[in-house]
Amino acid sequence: MRAAYPRDTPDQQRVATVARVSTATVSRVFNSPHRVGEARRNRVLQAAKELGYTPNKFASALARKATGRVLFLDCNKLAAHDRVNQAYYAGLYKMSLEAVLGAVESSTYHLTIDLNGSAKPGDYDGIILFDVDSPEQVAPFLSSGIPTVYGHHLGGFSKGLRAGVDNKGGSVLAAQYLLDRGHRGIAYLTGRVPELNSHKDRLEGFVIRLEEANLGCTILQTPVGPRGGARGVQSLEKKLRAGSITAIGVMNDLTAFGAVQELLRLGIRIPEDVEVVGFDNLPILDLLPVRIPTVDLSLDEVYSRAAKKLLSSLESQGEQEELLVLPRLIRPNSNPGDPK
Amino acid sequence: MRAAYPRDTPDQQRVATVARVSTATVSRVFNSPHRVGEARRNRVLQAAKELGYTPNKFASALARKATGRVLFLDCNKLAAHDRVNQAYYAGLYKMSLEAVLGAVESSTYHLTIDLNGSAKPGDYDGIILFDVDSPEQVAPFLSSGIPTVYGHHLGGFSKGLRAGVDNKGGSVLAAQYLLDRGHRGIAYLTGRVPELNSHKDRLEGFVIRLEEANLGCTILQTPVGPRGGARGVQSLEKKLRAGSITAIGVMNDLTAFGAVQELLRLGIRIPEDVEVVGFDNLPILDLLPVRIPTVDLSLDEVYSRAAKKLLSSLESQGEQEELLVLPRLIRPNSNPGDPK
DNA sequence: TTGTATGCGTTATCAG
DNA sequence: CTGATAACGCATACAA
């Protein structure tokens, strides 16, 4: 037998009694406050506060004939050879999840997560797609009629509610950093271009900033990951030793990790001889004997906004805006563990 | 105005009609099947299957006067100096979450997550605590009367429903591996002993296995993390070069990472000269130029069982058993990305 | 603007 | 073992 636990949670009726109004008014105060007279509204809010009342989300959803649920779905499905790398991004997932949670928690909706992709639209009032890869991936959700918002690399996407990282802008920051440090011979390790939006945008932003400074850029396409980074450095070795290249921008930290390792192995000092700047702000950078700058995606910001946008579009059909968050540069001397 | 989405989900009434029974009977079939006659039960199951019926969890919770929610709370709060290391464990969190989800999903309960610790018991019918650290941490939950299950390092815990990793057993596997490889001079890097259960158990298991083989063990206490691992190796350098120590067990992979790096830096080859075995099966091991064996916590198994245990104890007050899952050794030649 | 009354899908009580 | 029926807490026509 299922045990019953005393739930002293006050209900709408209690609040209504205390506030000397009807339950309908209490409901209105929480759903369409503007439709309630100020005097009564204040009485209700006061009573609710005193009693510690929170609307029961389940009953709410039931009465509304809605599911009352918002889905958070991890879409991160890359090519098979990238699967192993995904483990390094779990921290970003967790951070994003936390951000979404903060927004949904305070609404009348419940956050539901799905990690294995077995979710059907229709079971949810709203959907948040994490780390989508291609338009085909989002299409079924958008056409389902369920309000959907997705993130976070938006290069090739053009429709629906979406929030993302300004990869181009982030790369501009990275290039800017190297320029400020006085570098003139700069190389860039790119990856899966042009298939991957994020890599393409990052490359573009980097090159653009250098062009603005009337500088060229040695672009090298390498496999993504530590091994690719090492290989990239090997290709550049001559120029690095000759001093014609003194800085390297890398498309992500996983690859930057390998690049740094290889540089050190070759006896090239960082940052004295060569400087490297990464992207993603992955914790693995702390495993290197030297600190390098990187670009933080600000995914918490991205998904917090995404969630809020979705929730507000659940109230009124919103517009199909795109929302871009500018990443922030993490300097090698700053402590990544610091409070933001 | 909130849009209404067509939910063609069949309800209890539809199933009841099709099965020619009352709604009460349908409810019983899904909650206490044994209280329904076989003929009718089959009719109901058949109808439910045809219609694709799933009980509405919200209505269920409402009628039951319960919250209908199960909480998954991340308790991982270590000392400040360890905070930075936590980022490496996000993957384990995600894996555990997925396991819990799988179990809860198919029940009439909803899984709710809380990442910032602002959850109050009483808002939930059941609670799953992830990665608890000390008995004081769980005490308020246990005394709240809400069924609670916690994991996953159970060394110092003695009450309540719990599921955990057999750290001792895992360490035995690690030691066994080194013995099988013919090593006789073996060292062990331990960490925060005796405060941390996991470290204590791992040390114990390792030493016990060596004792059984009539071997001693050079035990070294080092800080946890890459730097600590490097320092440990430095302390052992003479013995390593002399060949009196040819293998090192380490309390976790983060520390093992540093140990391996330092060994290689010293020109000591792995596994030819010295062999290292880690613990936790963290993906960062792939960032090393050599593969080392490690011990996988099987947290998916742990938390899957934990969730099932909790759910069943929600039906009937269960016993306060402890559940221990034996980790599995990951050999350096096996691919960690392989399907289990 | 406000209150009354009804229903949302399910479980639990009670009578048969 | 089974069926009718009353909650569960809330939102929303509808009436006032």
Q: Grade residue A205 by pLDDT with cuts at 50, 70 and 90.
A: very high
Across B85-105, average pLDDT: 90
Query: What pLDDT, on the 0 to 100 scale, is given for residue A124?
Result: 86
Task: Kindly list the distances between the CA atom of residue B129 and the CA atoms of A20, A116, B48, in Å, as whole numbers in the listed order.
Answer: 41, 22, 34
How many Å from the CA of B36 to C1' of D3? Answer: 13
**Alpha carbon distance B244, B247 (integer Å):** 9
In-domain check, residue A105: yes
Q: Domain tally for chain A?
A: 2
Residue A276 pLDDT greater than 80, yes or no: yes
In-domain check, residue B99: yes
Query: What pLDDT, on the 0 to 100 scale, is given for residue A333?
Result: 77
Residues B171 and B221 in one domain: yes
Residues B274 and B176 in one domain: yes
User: At how many degrees (to 10) do helices B167-180 and B197-212 cross?
Assistant: 40
Residues B308 and B264 in one domain: no
Across B312-330, average pLDDT: 81
In-domain check, residue A32: no
Residues A187 and A303 in one domain: no
Residues A320 and A250 in one domain: no
**Strand D atom within 7 Å of A24 CB:** yes
**Alpha carbon distance A59, B264 (integer Å):** 62
Tell me, what DSSP letter sits at residue B120? Answer: -
Residue B260 pLDDT greater than 60, yes or no: yes
How many Å from the N-terminal Cα to the C-terminal Cα in chain B? 48
Q: Grade residue A56 by pLDDT with cuts at 50, 70 and 90.
A: confident
In-domain check, residue B228: yes
Question: In the predicted model, what is the mean pLDDT of chain A?
Answer: 88
The whole-model pTM stands at: 0.88
Residues B122 and B188 in one domain: no
Task: Kindly list the distances between the CA atom of residue B145 and the CA atoms of B115, B140, B301, in Å, as whole numbers in the listed order.
Answer: 22, 9, 26
pLDDT tens digits, B29-80:
988 888 888 888 999 988 889 888 888 888 888 888 888 889 999 988 665 5
**Alpha carbon distance A142, A158 (integer Å):** 12
pLDDT tens digits, A9-53:
678 888 999 999 989 999 999 888 888 888 999 999 999 898 888
Residues A191 and A306 in one domain: no
Which CA-bearing residue is nearest the C1' of C11?
A: B63
**Strand D atom within 7 Å of B21 CB:** yes
Chain A interface, mutation test: which of B287, B290, B300, B314, most A Cβ atoms within 10 Å?
B287
Beta bridge partners of A150: A129, A162
- Which of A80-94, A118-132, A289-303, B78-92 is the most confident on average? A289-303
Residue A172 pLDDT greater than 90, yes or no: yes
Lowest mean pLDDT among A67-76, A279-288, B254-263: A67-76
Residue B255 pLDDT greater than 70, yes or no: yes
In-domain check, residue B335: no
**Alpha carbon distance B11, A274 (integer Å):** 67
Residues B175 and B133 in one domain: no
In-domain check, residue B17: no
Residue A173 pLDDT greater than 70, yes or no: yes
Query: What pLDDT, on the 0 to 100 scale, is given for residue B336?
Result: 45
Lowest mean pLDDT among A36-50, A162-176, A234-248: A36-50
Query: What pLDDT, on the 0 to 100 scale, is given for residue A78?
Result: 60
- CATH of residue B275's domain is 3.40.50.2300
Residues of B in contact with A67 (CB under 8 A): 7
Across A284-302, average pLDDT: 96
Which of the nucleotides lies closest to B16 (Cα–C1')? D3
Residues A201 and A258 in one domain: yes
Enumerate the nucleotides of strand D whose atoms come under 7 Å of any protein CB.
Answer: 1-13
Q: What percent of chain B has pLDDT over 70?
A: 89
pLDDT tens digits, B181-195:
999 999 999 998 988
Residues B237 and B177 in one domain: yes
Q: Report which secondary-structure segment, H or E, holds B38.
A: helix B38-51
Q: Where are the beta strands (DSSP E) in A115-185?
A: 126-130, 148-150, 161-165
Query: What pLDDT, on the 0 to 100 scale, is given for residue B176?
Result: 98
How many Å from the CA of A60 to C1' of D11? Answer: 7
How many Å from the CA of B316 to C1' of C10? Answer: 20
Contact indicator for B326, B156 with CB cutoff of 8 Å = no
Residue range of the domain that includes A219: 167-296
Instruction: Tell me the residue length of chain A.
Output: 340
In chain A, whose CA is at the least distance from the CA of B255? A287
